[in-house]
A and B are shown apart, each in its own frame.
Chain A
Amino acid sequence: MLGIIIGVGAVVLMTGVGKSVEGVILGQIDFMGPQTMALFPGNEGPEGGNSSMRPDFDAITFSDTEALKTLTTVKYIAPVVFVPGNAVYGREETDPRIAGSTPEYYLNQNIEVTEGRFHDQKDEEASNSVVVIGSDIAEDLFFNQSAVGKRMELANKKFTVIGVLKPVGMVFFQNVDDRIIMPLSTAVAMTGRTYADMVSMQAVDDFDIAFEDVRALLRQRHGITVPEDGSTDNDDFLVRSAAQAEEILGTVSISLTVFITLIAGISLFVGGIGIMNIMLVSVTERTREIGLRKAIGAKRKDILLQILLESVFLTLIGGCIGIVLGIGLDFLISAAVNKVLSEYQFAISIGAIFLALAMATVTGIVFGVYPAKKASELSPIEALRYE
């Protein structure tokens, strides 16, 4: 019985949690847009390799990013340069992620301002010392007072706040509200960089075509020969996308599902053996009753059906308890996680409940067959004589 409860409970719980997690991830992908792509320098190398062995951090130059603009399959190409340093306003100090990028960045990241404006091409041309800040920075440094027009210090250089970003929360388990964005030209001037730390862009239409175009262009510009097996081993860059991330998470969730199914299967098997034992004891205890039923005209089939129904009834009770426990646990987990991650919503899968009930029924039938067969084959007189 316990096995049935655990098995069914696990299925209901995990499908519920899976659905909630899926909701969070899909929400984030929706937010970024599945077309969003990112290009990084370096390569993870062949499987089992280590990126630190191939320090290609300067692989993507600004002339590469200019060349990308000639492609028709990608748009909003925004090179990003990270600027190390703290943000200081008055006595307040914080440790943000400071990035320089072009105005296209705002477009491909689907972000909005709640106050002020984004920086524009004019700021870019003049390398103005202006910044757009994330909502957490606005809160930490300016305590929710209007930040626009305030002068703050970034890496010992004075900047004017021109915009505050709308809060986004976690994107792929990373808080993006603590970023500060300045014009790319300003960041380049501060760091003296000739290469991008990453390039953010969007596929115009089909993601796969855009992906191939970007890869082909960079391979050609970097003189990379593709190995015979068509792998990316020789590349000095990586292209990633939201859709790819979704696929990876999908794989993770599939392996999780397989794992849970395995646990559920084992629990149900153990539970089924338990049910079989209960039924065997019950059949033995009621040998006289079965004998009587046969003596007054019950057919083998009648006895078989009776014991099977009893077995299914038992497993269904276990199944119902499991479903209630599974939903209850799912609810508690949701309530707890929701406090940390507001996008995590309580969800149950109706399909999983029906699946769980079906599994309980099948377990009842499979493990009820042996006791039922045993009972139905009792000779009426032997059974009546049984003490």
Chain B
Amino acid sequence: MSSQNNPTNGFNGEDSPLIQTKNLYKSYFNEGLETKVLFDINLTINKGEFVAIMGPSGSGKSTLMHILGFLDNHTEGEYEFHGKAARTMDEDMLAKVRATRVSFVFQAFNLLPRASIYQNVMLPLIYHPIIPAEERDSRVNKAIESVDLTDRTNFLSNQLSGGQKQRVAIARALVTEPELIFADEPTGNLDSASGIQVMKVLQDLHDSGHTIILVTHEQSTAEHADRIIELFDGRITRDTEEFKTRWAVDEDKLMK
């Protein structure tokens, strides 16, 4: 994992949870009008978890993922990553976190259309502050291999099918070996067969120790995860982890 080969991480290390939010709120302001999107989000996610954030469209699940992935800022409350508050990070620090610790798989793939698979997967390494240039090639090839696209390495990304594109996007997310992979509706633009394939790749990643946060509105997709957090109108309405712990507490009470 990159946290081990990153001597200047500036984080509190492994004792703190990977992700912790305390009374997190998010509002958008448009021409002086405030639109509240997230209310009082309290969430702890530990390393190695496979979490699905579920909810209908407009529930705020994507916004929550963008905040957790350092693509967007929250309005109130605290978001701590390895115990370090996101609001204390400056622009360069945020760019560094995005480059080294988190990565994204988007619904719309967001590949560079006129670049080859190889170039697309290479892209994050260009901005990676630590991985040396001579390691790039082997890392790219390894990432492409892990999504089973080695025979198409030099294809342009606009020559690929949707499922293949999403696998390239996953390879791109893997290549820096981040601690945390965000997948935003990764099967949303895919037929069911490709969707199953992509979910299998994510499943394999989780099995090999990656922390994955999946955003989806489909129950069937969410069920791949170990833990499901449901959002509705910007509030957490269900968290299977909490349910488990609450259940455990109740069990304790029952035992007494």
Q: Which A positions have Cβ atoms within 8 angstroms of B?
A: 288-289, 291-300, 302, 379-381, 384
Rounded to whole angstroms, the CA-CA distance of A299 and B128 in the bound complex is 10
| Contact between A384 and B92, CB atoms less than 8 A apart | no
Rounded to whole angstroms, the CA-CA distance of A293 and B91 in the bound complex is 14
Rounded to whole angstroms, the CA-CA distance of A384 and B169 in the bound complex is 15
The one of B100, B104, B112 in contact with A295, judged by C-beta atoms closer than 8 angstroms, is B104
Nearest Cβ on chain B to A86's Cβ, whole angstroms: 79
| Contact between B71 and A299, CB atoms less than 8 A apart | no
| Contact between A299 and B127, CB atoms less than 8 A apart | yes
| Contact between B95 and A299, CB atoms less than 8 A apart | yes
Nearest Cβ on chain B to A302's Cβ, whole angstroms: 6
User: A298-B99, A381-B71, A384-B110 are known contacts; what are 5 more A-B pairs with Cβ within 8 Å?
Assistant: A296-B98, A297-B96, A297-B128, A300-B91, A380-B98
Interface residues of B in 202-224 (CB under 8 A from A): none
- Quick one: CB contact mask for B97-129 with A, threshold 8 Å, 1 for yes? 011100110100010100000000001100110
**B interface size (C-beta, 8 A):** 22
Q: Kindly list chain A residues whose C-beta atoms are within 8 Å of the C-beta of B98.
A: 294-297, 380
Q: Kindly list chain A residues whose C-beta atoms are within 8 Å of the C-beta of B172.
A: 296
| Contact between A297 and B71, CB atoms less than 8 A apart | no
The one of B66, B91, B92, B127 in contact with A296, judged by C-beta atoms closer than 8 angstroms, is B127
Look across to chain B and name the residue whose beta carbon is closest to the beta carbon of A299.
B95
Look across to chain B and name the residue whose beta carbon is closest to the beta carbon of A377.
B91
Contacts A288-B110, A292-B110, A381-B66: A298 and B127 contacting too (C-beta < 8 A)? yes
Contacts A302-B127, A381-B71: A297 and B110 contacting too (C-beta < 8 A)? no
| Contact between A296 and B71, CB atoms less than 8 A apart | no
| Contact between B106 and A298, CB atoms less than 8 A apart | no
Task: List 5 A-B pairs, minimum CB-CB distance, nearest first.
Answer: A297-B99, A297-B127, A299-B95, A296-B124, A297-B98
Q: Kindly list chain B residues whose C-beta atoms are within 8 Å of the C-beta of A289.
A: 112
B242 CB–A CB distance under 8 Å: no
Look across to chain B and name the residue whose beta carbon is closest to the beta carbon of A298.
B127
Nearest Cβ on chain A to B238's Cβ, whole angstroms: 26
Look across to chain A and name the residue whose beta carbon is closest to the beta carbon of B128.
A297
Rounded to whole angstroms, the CA-CA distance of A156 and B159 in the bound complex is 95
A-B contact pairs, 24 of them (CB 8 A): A288-B110, A289-B112, A292-B110, A293-B127, A294-B98, A295-B98, A295-B110, A296-B99, A296-B104, A296-B123, A296-B124, A297-B98, A297-B99, A297-B127, A297-B128, A297-B176, A299-B91, A299-B95, A299-B96, A300-B92, A379-B72, A381-B66, A381-B72, A384-B106
Look across to chain B and name the residue whose beta carbon is closest to the beta carbon of A302.
B127
Nearest Cβ on chain A to B120's Cβ, whole angstroms: 10
Rounded to whole angstroms, the CA-CA distance of A224 and B56 in the bound complex is 106
The one of B72, B91, B95, B106 in contact with A297, judged by C-beta atoms closer than 8 angstroms, is B95
Look across to chain B and name the residue whose beta carbon is closest to the beta carbon of A288.
B110
Look across to chain A and name the residue whose beta carbon is closest to the beta carbon of B110.
A292
| Contact between A296 and B106, CB atoms less than 8 A apart | no
Nearest Cβ on chain B to A191's Cβ, whole angstroms: 86
Nearest Cβ on chain B to A282's Cβ, whole angstroms: 13
| Contact between A384 and B71, CB atoms less than 8 A apart | yes
Rounded to whole angstroms, the CA-CA distance of A381 and B68 in the bound complex is 12
Rounded to whole angstroms, the CA-CA distance of A291 and B96 in the bound complex is 15
Rounded to whole angstroms, the CA-CA distance of A384 and B66 in the bound complex is 11
| Contact between A295 and B71, CB atoms less than 8 A apart | yes
Rounded to whole angstroms, the CA-CA distance of A342 and B255 in the bound complex is 115
Contacts A381-B66, A381-B71: A296 and B103 contacting too (C-beta < 8 A)? yes
Rounded to whole angstroms, the CA-CA distance of A379 and B95 in the bound complex is 11
Nearest Cβ on chain B to A293's Cβ, whole angstroms: 7
Q: Kindly list chain A residues whose C-beta atoms are within 8 Å of the C-beta of B96.
A: 297, 299
Rounded to whole angstroms, the CA-CA distance of A295 and B112 in the bound complex is 14
Nearest Cβ on chain A to B187's Cβ, whole angstroms: 18
Rounded to whole angstroms, the CA-CA distance of A282 and B66 in the bound complex is 26
Nearest Cβ on chain A to B181's Cβ, whole angstroms: 12
Nearest Cβ on chain A to B122's Cβ, whole angstroms: 11
Rounded to whole angstroms, the CA-CA distance of A19 and B157 in the bound complex is 53
Look across to chain B and name the residue whose beta carbon is closest to the beta carbon of A383.
B71
The one of A288, A297, A379 in contact with B124, judged by C-beta atoms closer than 8 angstroms, is A297
Rounded to whole angstroms, the CA-CA distance of A288 and B66 in the bound complex is 15
| Contact between A293 and B71, CB atoms less than 8 A apart | no
- Quick one: CB contact mask for B63-75 with A, threshold 8 Å, 1 for yes? 0001001011000
Interface residues of B in 120-145 (CB under 8 A from A): 123-124, 127-128
| Contact between A299 and B92, CB atoms less than 8 A apart | yes
Rounded to whole angstroms, the CA-CA distance of A288 and B112 in the bound complex is 10
Q: Kindly list chain A residues whose C-beta atoms are within 8 Å of the C-beta of B95.
A: 294, 297-300
Rounded to whole angstroms, the CA-CA distance of A299 and B92 in the bound complex is 6
Q: Kindly list chain A residues whose C-beta atoms are within 8 Å of the C-beta of B91.
A: 299-300
Nearest Cβ on chain A to B136's Cβ, whole angstroms: 14
Look across to chain A and name the residue whose beta carbon is closest to the beta carbon of B91.
A300
Rounded to whole angstroms, the CA-CA distance of A294 and B110 in the bound complex is 12
Q: Kindly list chain B residues whose C-beta atoms are within 8 Å of the C-beta of A292.
A: 110, 112
Q: Kindly list chain A residues whose C-beta atoms are within 8 Å of the C-beta of B104.
A: 295-296
Q: Kindly list chain B residues whose C-beta atoms are within 8 Å of the C-beta of A384.
A: 71, 106, 110
Rounded to whole angstroms, the CA-CA distance of A219 and B9 in the bound complex is 91
